[in-house]
Amino acid sequence: MRPAADGRLRLLRPTDRLLAWGRAVLSSYYDVLQDLYPDPGYGLAVAPDPAFHLARRRVSIEVFGVIACFRHGPALGAMLSMTGTSRPPTWPPPA
């Protein structure tokens, strides 16, 4: 059921194919870590387990606030200077 304040014509739902692709992409991010640190390893992150990847996506949203704390730090500043950007984008994006 759609909330009354939702002005979209319809809610979009990802297909199984798209979700499988997303799990494959997320798993690939951990392949190198699995090779570098096999014990205890990143088995759950590397495996295409739908339940784990759904939980990972839900929890990762909470990390955006932590990342925002570092946006003016020296490490990020050095990285941004290499890209020609003076400031990182703000989160959440302006409405």
Q: What are the backbone angles phi and psi of residue 89, rounded to the nearest 5°?
A: -65, 155
Cβ distance 26 to 45 under 8 Å? Answer: yes
Per-residue pLDDT, 15: 92
pTM of the model: 0.53
Which range scores top for mean pLDDT: 3-7, 18-22, 72-76, 91-95?
A: 18-22
Dump pLDDT digits (tens) for 27-61: 888 888 899 998 888 888 888 888 988 888 888 77
What are 78-87's pLDDT values in tens digits?
Answer: 666 665 555 5
What beta strand segments (E) does the chain contain?
Answer: none
